[in-house]
Amino acid sequence: MDLCYRLTGVSFRYTQAWVLKDFALEVVEGEIIGLIGPNGSGKTTLVKLMAGLLRPQEGAVLLHGENLAARPRREIARQVAVVPQDSPILFPFTVGELVLMGRFAHQVGWGWESAEDLRIARLAMQAMDVWHLADRTVQDLSGGERQRAMIARALAQQSRILLLDEPTAFLDINHQMEIYAILKELHRDRGVTVVLVSHDLNLASQYCDRLVLLHEGRAYRTGPPGEVLTAEHIRMVYGCEVLIDRHPVAGTPRITLPCVGNGESLTVKR
Protein backbone atom coordinates (compact mmCIF):
# COMPACT_ATOMS: atom_id res chain seq x y z
CA MET A 1 0.00 0.00 0.00
CA ASP A 2 1.37 3.40 -1.02
CA LEU A 3 1.05 6.22 1.48
CA CYS A 4 0.15 9.74 0.42
CA TYR A 5 0.33 11.16 3.96
CA ARG A 6 2.40 10.32 7.01
CA LEU A 7 2.04 12.49 10.11
CA THR A 8 4.55 11.81 12.86
CA GLY A 9 4.62 13.43 16.29
CA VAL A 10 2.59 16.41 15.07
CA SER A 11 1.79 19.01 17.72
CA PHE A 12 0.14 22.37 17.11
CA ARG A 13 -1.22 25.22 19.20
CA TYR A 14 -2.61 28.65 18.45
CA THR A 15 -1.91 30.07 21.91
CA GLN A 16 -1.04 28.26 25.13
CA ALA A 17 -3.06 25.05 24.93
CA TRP A 18 -2.14 22.34 22.44
CA VAL A 19 -4.87 21.68 19.87
CA LEU A 20 -3.06 18.59 18.60
CA LYS A 21 -0.38 16.84 20.63
CA ASP A 22 1.96 14.11 19.38
CA PHE A 23 -0.53 13.21 16.65
CA ALA A 24 0.25 10.37 14.24
CA LEU A 25 -1.64 9.27 11.14
CA GLU A 26 -1.03 7.46 7.87
CA VAL A 27 -3.33 7.89 4.87
CA VAL A 28 -3.23 5.29 2.11
CA GLU A 29 -3.61 6.42 -1.49
CA GLY A 30 -7.12 5.94 -2.83
CA GLU A 31 -8.99 5.60 0.46
CA ILE A 32 -11.83 7.66 1.89
CA ILE A 33 -11.01 8.53 5.47
CA GLY A 34 -13.32 10.38 7.85
CA LEU A 35 -12.18 12.63 10.71
CA ILE A 36 -14.76 12.59 13.48
CA GLY A 37 -14.92 13.85 17.03
CA PRO A 38 -16.55 16.55 19.16
CA ASN A 39 -16.10 20.28 18.67
CA GLY A 40 -12.63 21.41 19.64
CA SER A 41 -10.98 18.02 19.16
CA GLY A 42 -8.65 19.33 16.41
CA LYS A 43 -10.32 18.15 13.19
CA THR A 44 -10.24 21.45 11.28
CA THR A 45 -6.71 22.19 12.46
CA LEU A 46 -5.63 18.76 11.23
CA VAL A 47 -7.06 19.45 7.76
CA LYS A 48 -5.22 22.79 7.62
CA LEU A 49 -1.96 21.09 8.57
CA MET A 50 -2.47 18.46 5.87
CA ALA A 51 -3.16 21.22 3.34
CA GLY A 52 0.01 23.09 4.27
CA LEU A 53 -1.99 26.10 5.47
CA LEU A 54 -0.54 25.66 8.97
CA ARG A 55 2.82 24.30 10.06
CA PRO A 56 3.24 22.15 13.17
CA GLN A 57 5.36 23.42 16.02
CA GLU A 58 6.55 19.85 16.52
CA GLY A 59 6.70 16.81 14.24
CA ALA A 60 6.26 16.65 10.49
CA VAL A 61 3.56 16.27 7.85
CA LEU A 62 4.90 14.25 4.91
CA LEU A 63 3.17 14.27 1.52
CA HIS A 64 4.41 11.42 -0.65
CA GLY A 65 7.47 11.20 1.55
CA GLU A 66 8.42 14.90 1.43
CA ASN A 67 7.99 17.41 4.23
CA LEU A 68 5.03 19.61 3.36
CA ALA A 69 6.68 22.65 4.97
CA ALA A 70 9.43 22.64 2.33
CA ARG A 71 7.17 22.49 -0.74
CA PRO A 72 5.91 25.50 -2.75
CA ARG A 73 2.21 26.33 -2.48
CA ARG A 74 1.49 25.83 -6.19
CA GLU A 75 3.14 22.42 -6.15
CA ILE A 76 0.99 21.39 -3.18
CA ALA A 77 -2.14 22.71 -4.93
CA ARG A 78 -1.49 20.44 -7.92
CA GLN A 79 -1.77 17.47 -5.59
CA VAL A 80 -4.15 18.63 -2.84
CA ALA A 81 -7.48 20.45 -3.17
CA VAL A 82 -9.17 21.90 -0.08
CA VAL A 83 -12.80 22.69 0.65
CA PRO A 84 -12.79 24.69 3.91
CA GLN A 85 -15.64 24.83 6.38
CA ASP A 86 -16.05 28.57 5.95
CA SER A 87 -14.45 30.60 3.18
CA PRO A 88 -15.73 34.18 3.01
CA ILE A 89 -15.71 35.63 -0.52
CA LEU A 90 -14.91 39.34 -0.20
CA PHE A 91 -15.30 40.30 -3.86
CA PRO A 92 -18.33 39.82 -6.13
CA PHE A 93 -16.96 36.89 -8.09
CA THR A 94 -19.39 34.88 -10.15
CA VAL A 95 -19.68 31.14 -9.62
CA GLY A 96 -17.94 30.59 -12.96
CA GLU A 97 -15.02 32.78 -11.91
CA LEU A 98 -14.80 31.06 -8.54
CA VAL A 99 -14.65 27.60 -10.07
CA LEU A 100 -12.05 28.71 -12.63
CA MET A 101 -9.80 29.68 -9.70
CA GLY A 102 -9.35 25.94 -9.22
CA ARG A 103 -7.35 25.90 -12.47
CA PHE A 104 -4.76 28.39 -11.20
CA ALA A 105 -2.31 25.71 -10.08
CA HIS A 106 -2.20 24.31 -13.62
CA GLN A 107 -1.69 27.60 -15.45
CA VAL A 108 1.72 28.64 -16.72
CA GLY A 109 2.95 32.16 -16.10
CA TRP A 110 0.27 34.84 -16.17
CA GLY A 111 -1.75 33.36 -19.01
CA TRP A 112 -5.54 33.46 -19.15
CA GLU A 113 -7.65 30.36 -18.82
CA SER A 114 -7.56 28.03 -21.80
CA ALA A 115 -10.41 26.26 -23.58
CA GLU A 116 -9.45 23.16 -21.58
CA ASP A 117 -9.70 25.11 -18.32
CA LEU A 118 -13.17 26.29 -19.30
CA ARG A 119 -14.24 22.75 -20.21
CA ILE A 120 -13.02 21.29 -16.92
CA ALA A 121 -14.68 24.09 -14.92
CA ARG A 122 -17.97 23.51 -16.75
CA LEU A 123 -17.87 19.78 -16.02
CA ALA A 124 -17.16 20.50 -12.34
CA MET A 125 -20.11 22.90 -12.15
CA GLN A 126 -22.39 20.41 -13.86
CA ALA A 127 -21.31 17.67 -11.45
CA MET A 128 -22.18 19.88 -8.47
CA ASP A 129 -25.44 21.17 -10.00
CA VAL A 130 -24.30 24.82 -10.11
CA TRP A 131 -23.80 25.23 -13.88
CA HIS A 132 -27.06 27.18 -14.09
CA LEU A 133 -25.62 29.57 -11.47
CA ALA A 134 -22.39 30.27 -13.37
CA ASP A 135 -23.23 33.96 -13.92
CA ARG A 136 -24.55 34.58 -10.40
CA THR A 137 -22.29 36.23 -7.82
CA VAL A 138 -21.27 34.06 -4.91
CA GLN A 139 -22.79 36.54 -2.44
CA ASP A 140 -26.22 35.94 -3.98
CA LEU A 141 -26.16 32.20 -3.29
CA SER A 142 -27.72 30.29 -0.44
CA GLY A 143 -25.41 28.52 1.99
CA GLY A 144 -25.95 25.19 0.25
CA GLU A 145 -25.38 26.64 -3.23
CA ARG A 146 -22.17 28.29 -2.08
CA GLN A 147 -20.95 25.03 -0.56
CA ARG A 148 -21.57 23.20 -3.84
CA ALA A 149 -19.73 25.94 -5.74
CA MET A 150 -16.73 25.57 -3.41
CA ILE A 151 -16.65 21.83 -4.01
CA ALA A 152 -16.89 22.46 -7.77
CA ARG A 153 -13.79 24.65 -7.49
CA ALA A 154 -11.96 21.80 -5.78
CA LEU A 155 -13.06 19.35 -8.48
CA ALA A 156 -11.81 21.73 -11.17
CA GLN A 157 -8.40 21.62 -9.51
CA GLN A 158 -8.16 17.92 -10.54
CA SER A 159 -5.94 17.03 -7.59
CA ARG A 160 -5.48 13.41 -6.53
CA ILE A 161 -6.19 14.32 -2.89
CA LEU A 162 -9.33 16.07 -1.63
CA LEU A 163 -9.47 17.54 1.88
CA LEU A 164 -12.99 18.57 2.89
CA ASP A 165 -14.08 20.18 6.15
CA GLU A 166 -17.78 19.43 6.67
CA PRO A 167 -18.57 19.12 2.93
CA THR A 168 -22.31 18.63 3.49
CA ALA A 169 -22.84 21.53 5.88
CA PHE A 170 -25.89 23.63 4.94
CA LEU A 171 -27.05 21.03 2.42
CA ASP A 172 -30.39 19.26 2.21
CA ILE A 173 -30.49 15.47 2.29
CA ASN A 174 -30.65 15.15 -1.51
CA HIS A 175 -27.48 17.18 -2.06
CA GLN A 176 -25.76 15.44 0.84
CA MET A 177 -26.29 12.12 -0.92
CA GLU A 178 -25.17 13.57 -4.26
CA ILE A 179 -21.92 14.90 -2.79
CA TYR A 180 -21.04 11.61 -1.12
CA ALA A 181 -21.93 9.79 -4.35
CA ILE A 182 -19.55 12.08 -6.27
CA LEU A 183 -16.79 11.46 -3.73
CA LYS A 184 -17.34 7.72 -4.07
CA GLU A 185 -17.21 8.03 -7.86
CA LEU A 186 -13.94 10.01 -7.75
CA HIS A 187 -12.54 7.38 -5.40
CA ARG A 188 -13.69 4.48 -7.57
CA ASP A 189 -13.00 5.82 -11.07
CA ARG A 190 -9.98 8.08 -10.56
CA GLY A 191 -8.40 6.69 -7.40
CA VAL A 192 -8.77 10.04 -5.63
CA THR A 193 -7.89 10.05 -1.94
CA VAL A 194 -10.55 11.75 0.18
CA VAL A 195 -10.07 13.04 3.72
CA LEU A 196 -13.17 14.64 5.16
CA VAL A 197 -14.35 16.08 8.46
CA SER A 198 -17.87 15.09 9.42
CA HIS A 199 -20.14 15.63 12.39
CA ASP A 200 -22.67 13.25 10.82
CA LEU A 201 -21.49 9.93 12.19
CA ASN A 202 -23.98 7.94 10.15
CA LEU A 203 -22.86 9.43 6.82
CA ALA A 204 -19.22 8.93 7.81
CA SER A 205 -19.96 5.34 8.80
CA GLN A 206 -21.70 4.57 5.53
CA TYR A 207 -19.28 6.18 3.07
CA CYS A 208 -15.80 6.12 4.65
CA ASP A 209 -13.37 3.22 4.43
CA ARG A 210 -11.72 4.24 7.68
CA LEU A 211 -12.48 6.62 10.53
CA VAL A 212 -10.22 8.58 12.85
CA LEU A 213 -11.93 9.46 16.12
CA LEU A 214 -10.19 12.47 17.65
CA HIS A 215 -10.23 13.14 21.37
CA GLU A 216 -8.33 15.90 23.16
CA GLY A 217 -5.92 16.42 20.26
CA ARG A 218 -5.04 12.79 19.68
CA ALA A 219 -6.32 9.90 17.61
CA TYR A 220 -8.41 8.00 20.15
CA ARG A 221 -9.33 5.20 17.70
CA THR A 222 -8.52 4.59 14.04
CA GLY A 223 -9.97 1.83 11.88
CA PRO A 224 -13.01 0.63 9.93
CA PRO A 225 -16.34 2.14 11.03
CA GLY A 226 -17.35 -1.08 12.79
CA GLU A 227 -14.31 -0.87 15.06
CA VAL A 228 -14.44 2.86 15.78
CA LEU A 229 -18.16 3.52 16.20
CA THR A 230 -18.98 1.60 19.34
CA ALA A 231 -21.17 2.69 22.23
CA GLU A 232 -18.16 2.61 24.55
CA HIS A 233 -16.00 4.83 22.32
CA ILE A 234 -18.80 7.35 21.78
CA ARG A 235 -19.54 7.43 25.51
CA MET A 236 -15.88 8.11 26.24
CA VAL A 237 -15.30 10.79 23.58
CA TYR A 238 -18.70 12.49 23.25
CA GLY A 239 -19.90 11.85 26.79
CA CYS A 240 -23.33 10.53 25.83
CA GLU A 241 -25.21 7.27 25.48
CA VAL A 242 -26.33 6.13 22.03
CA LEU A 243 -28.00 3.14 20.46
CA ILE A 244 -26.07 1.33 17.72
CA ASP A 245 -27.41 -1.18 15.24
CA ARG A 246 -26.59 -2.00 11.61
CA HIS A 247 -27.66 -0.18 8.47
CA PRO A 248 -30.13 -2.53 6.74
CA VAL A 249 -28.40 -2.23 3.35
CA ALA A 250 -24.79 -1.17 3.93
CA GLY A 251 -24.32 -3.17 7.14
CA THR A 252 -22.32 -0.33 8.67
CA PRO A 253 -22.90 0.93 12.23
CA ARG A 254 -25.99 3.13 12.56
CA ILE A 255 -26.24 5.48 15.51
CA THR A 256 -29.50 6.57 17.08
CA LEU A 257 -30.06 8.85 20.05
CA PRO A 258 -32.16 7.35 22.85
CA CYS A 259 -35.78 8.43 22.86
CA VAL A 260 -36.34 11.23 25.36
CA GLY A 261 -39.89 11.70 26.54
CA ASN A 262 -42.48 10.70 29.09
CA GLY A 263 -40.42 12.26 31.84
CA GLU A 264 -37.22 10.41 30.87
CA SER A 265 -33.94 12.27 30.76
CA LEU A 266 -30.97 11.75 28.48
CA THR A 267 -27.99 10.51 30.46
CA VAL A 268 -24.75 12.36 29.77
CA LYS A 269 -21.59 11.00 31.34
CA ARG A 270 -18.34 12.91 31.74
Model pLDDT for residues 196-206, shown as the tens digit of each residue: 999 999 999 99
pLDDT of residue 186: 85
3-class SS at 241?
coil
User: Which residue ranges of the chain lie beneath pLDDT 50?
Assistant: 263, 265-270
Residues 6+ apart with CB under 8 A from 54: 12, 45, 48
State the pTM of this model. Answer: 0.88
CB-count exposure of residue 122 (10 Å: 0-12, 13-18, 19+): middle
E-strand ranges in 70-192 read 80-83, 161-165
**Separation in Å, CA 263 to CA 240, 242, 246, 267, 268:** 18, 18, 28, 13, 16
pLDDT of residue 49: 96
Which residues are 262's β-sheet partners? none
Angle between helix 143-156 and 173-190 (nearest 10): 10
